[in-house]
Copies of this chain bind each other. A is one copy, B any other.
Amino acid sequence: MDQIPMHLGVSHFTTPKVAVEGLQEALLQNDTFYGPTKGTLSLRQAIAKRHLEEDGIPLPESQILITHGCKHAIHLYLQSLLLPSDEVIMLAPYWFAFPDLIRLNGGTLVSIEANPEENYALPLEAIKKAVTPNTKLLILSNPGNPTGKVYTQKELQAMADLAVEHPLLHILSDEIYDGLQYAAAPYSFLRFEHLRDRVAVVNGFSKSFAMSGWRVGYLIAPLEVLEKATDLQLKTISGVSPLNQAAAAQAMEHRQEIWKSFKEDLAPKRERVQNVLQSIPGLQFFVPDAGYYYALDVTNFLRPAKLASPYQTAEDWAAALKAQVGLEVLPGTNMGMPCAVRMSFALPDHVLESALLRLKTFLEQ
């Protein structure tokens, strides 16, 4: 049986034409030489302009480092910030790459679970209890991955207030799925200007711009951290391809039309999946505020909740889903949601239709 890949971290969209045109323009200008370590000025200006226009935040280009993708931005940031024995608080579920990145850079992960039954609301009291004198950093993804949760301004304000109470605490906000929200835009953590000396944002072009193969991300960070990260980039890898940055800059300039067209495709799919999921008794899920994943809690399909179930873990369940109906999803074990899976709906219509039929068949057997 053919496999339908609902486990992937990319959408079915190819890179927007306008981005490719940015590359072609740079090629015509023979821009094939090393670029600046920090990134091209035009891309950093486009990013700064976006934050000015959308968030009303004046952001100096000097505070922006273009990196080889968003994962690399996180890596350089953590390497610049963390010292051995530093604790890093993360809200679960989280993106699966974070635990390794934290560990590789000497940090200790302290995971705090958000409750799916409360729509993954910010667990402020639990966070407060988890902060110790060793807590260096608090990481949140907004919009969330795999949840698609967009925090309310009130939730983020509470987080900012907590940071005021703990003057040594840094905050990293991973905003890579922004632009793909279905209602209100996420409130960038950069807006808390009084915390600017302790707040960093990572972002990139892989998700909201369908440019995963171009390897362009960025880090916005306090100047001291950013200088360290830039020095590490200089010493270990050099700056990002100016050609690929030219494509990214054009994508950023045309972001509104790109996001509009992506969401016109994704919004009905999100609804369609929701309708199918709702029709399956016992399946728990959260309708994403942004992005293209559903986090499905399959507890009720595993032992002991379902005594007759052949599956004890979400891995078992996902393996059977793959083997029996050819549907690939991502088990949530390394995303801090052991009884759930991540399922992407960024697929062509006919593929999604077939996928949902298969899922229903499998779950109702």
| Interface residue ranges, A against B (CB under 8 Å) | 9-10, 14-15, 20, 23, 27, 30-35, 68-69, 71-72, 75, 97, 100-101, 104, 206, 210-215, 232, 235-238, 240-244
Contact = CB atoms under 8 A, between A and B. Distances in A.
B71 A237 contact: yes
Contacts of A69: 237-238
B237 A72 contact: yes
B20 A214 contact: no
Number of copies: 2
Contact of A235 (B101, B210, B242): B101
A32 to B, nearest CB: 4
A9 to B, nearest CB: 8
Given A15-B30, A20-B27, 19 more contacts: A9-B34, A14-B32, A14-B33, A31-B213, A32-B210, A32-B212, A32-B214, A34-B206, A68-B68, A69-B238, A72-B236, A72-B237, A75-B236, A75-B237, A100-B235, A101-B236, A214-B241, A243-B244, A244-B244
7 contacts: A32-B211, A68-B237, A71-B238, A213-B242, A214-B241, A214-B243, A243-B244
A241 B238 contact: no
Nearest to A11: B33
Name, among A69, A211, A242, the residue most crowded by chain B CB atoms within 10 Å (CB to CB): A69
A238 B71 CA distance: 8
A71 to B, nearest CB: 6
A237 B215 CA distance: 9
A240 B358 CA distance: 34
Contact of A71 (B10, B101, B236): B236
User: Which 4 pairs, one residue from A and one from B, show the smallest C-beta to C-beta distance?
Assistant: A15-B32, A72-B237, A14-B30, A75-B236
B33 A10 contact: yes
Contacts of A244: 241, 243-244
Contacts of A206: 34
A14 B68 CA distance: 22
Nearest to A35: B213
A212 B27 contact: no
Contacts of A242: 213
A240 B215 contact: yes
A213 B236 contact: no
Given A72-B237, A104-B236, A243 B33 contact: no
A27 B32 CA distance: 17
